[in-house]
Amino acid sequence: MGDAGDRQFALALSLARMLLATRGQFALALRDLSLARSGCERPNGRMLRVIEQKTDDAIYALGRGGPTMLEETLRRAIDDIVSEAALGTGGAPYFAD
C-alpha cells in the first residue's frame, strides 16, 4: 500500500505544479492584455493585486461554469482589470468588445 500511496502523492504533486504554472501563465496573459487595453506601460502594485485577484476569480468561475462560461469570464476579468488601471491613472476605462 505504501508504493500506491507514494505514487498517488507524486501524481497529485505533479498536477499541483502544473496548475500553479498554468495559473501563472494565465495571470501574465491577463496582465499583458489588460495593460495593452488600458494604455499603461507598467503595472503598479495595486494593479498587480487586482490581476492576482481577478485571475483567481476567473479560475474559480471557470471551474463552476465550465467551458461555456470561458469567453464571458475572460472578458469580465479583463474589463475589471482595465477599469482598475484606469482608476489608478485617472483615465477613462476601455472595455473589451
**Orientation angle between helical segments 45-65 and 2-38, nearest 10 degrees:** 120
Q: What pLDDT score was predicted for residue 72?
A: 83
pTM of the model: 0.61
Q: What pLDDT score was predicted for residue 10?
A: 82
Planar angle of CA 6, 8, 14, nearest 5 degrees? 100
State the average pLDDT for the chain.
77
Q: What pLDDT score was predicted for residue 3?
A: 80
Average pLDDT rounded to a whole number, residues 43-50: 80
Q: Which of 2-6, 38-42, 54-58, 70-74 has the highest mean pLDDT?
A: 54-58
